[in-house]
Structure 1
């Protein structure tokens, strides 16, 4: 009975996966239409996320002041906040560091997708997941190969390709779940 309920939940989740596919595909096309704006937007968004995380960490540090790790927690929060503010107030310089970070992220996610695809060999469309992982890995290597000269535009282009690749991945997962 539990297997049937679990399988039914998976089958019904295909719509959400299809929505993720559409969002990712649209975002990828928009990023390719204006790669500099996509790079700038990614840098600013990362800056705001780091700033928010840093502020929350600082507040949390004061809430646990008697704790032995107060200083380390506070230091982590301050450093995270400083990174975020530097990306917000100097996004052009931040593009270079974010480009390096994204290159590492693409390489890591590519490796994970490749391993994930091998675990799904019994599922229809697993080869597309493998392809998506290879694309992610290649994008990370491409960023590092031309680093830092094209950081202002290549990140937006590669982000667009990555989003499209993820959209295709989500689409094939959605179709596979629908067939369950």
Structure 2
């Protein structure tokens, strides 16, 4: 790949962005909340537009309704950022708990398999994380999204750097 250096630079920028987000998770939380709000608005508008182009009335009605709901969610997130952060944290913590329960069920189903302990531990970590979020909800709400954004940026940067170095090698 000719552009391995570009991928390397993007990876480094992603890691630096992740480290900056870790240094100020509150600002990163609100940045993530604003980004999600705008995404909902864009998706909502596009969904409403596509609803008018649908042929069937049932599909058109559902597409339009989902678009309007997404649009309202985006407006709500942007007009009241603190409530948006609380809502997003609540949804995220419920998803983490559900993922943990799902992993525990999967682990139980494959309890004789070689990778059973890894899935079990992953499920337990998710459950513990969800409990920590629920028991310290106010504190978690202000930084959780920012920390998760930071971790994702760092993880993304590491993978991009690894990919660029892989693509650089002649083999």
TM-score (norm 1): 0.66
1:5-36 CA deviation, whole Å, 9 max, x = no partner? xxxxxx33423421331221121122122111
Q: 5+ residue gaps in structure 2?
A: 100-124
CA contact (8 A) 1:143 1:154 kept: no
The equivalent of 1:121 in structure 2 is none
The equivalent of 1:3 in structure 2 is none
Q: 5+ residue gaps in structure 1?
A: 1-10, 109-137
Matches of 1:160 and 1:143, distance apart in 2: 19
More divergent stretch after superposition (164-173 vs 70-79):
164-173
The equivalent of 1:74 in structure 2 is 64
TM-score (norm 2): 0.69
CA distance 1:70–1:35, shift in 2 (3 Å): same
Length, aligned pairs only: 143
The equivalent of 2:21 in structure 1 is 31
Residue 84 (str. 1) matches residue 78 (str. 2): no
Aligned partner of 1:159 among 132, 149, 164: 149
CA distance 1:99–1:19, shift in 2 (3 Å): farther
Residue 52 (str. 1) matches residue 42 (str. 2): yes
Cα RMSD over matched residues?
A: 3.1
CA distance 1:50–1:144, shift in 2 (3 Å): farther
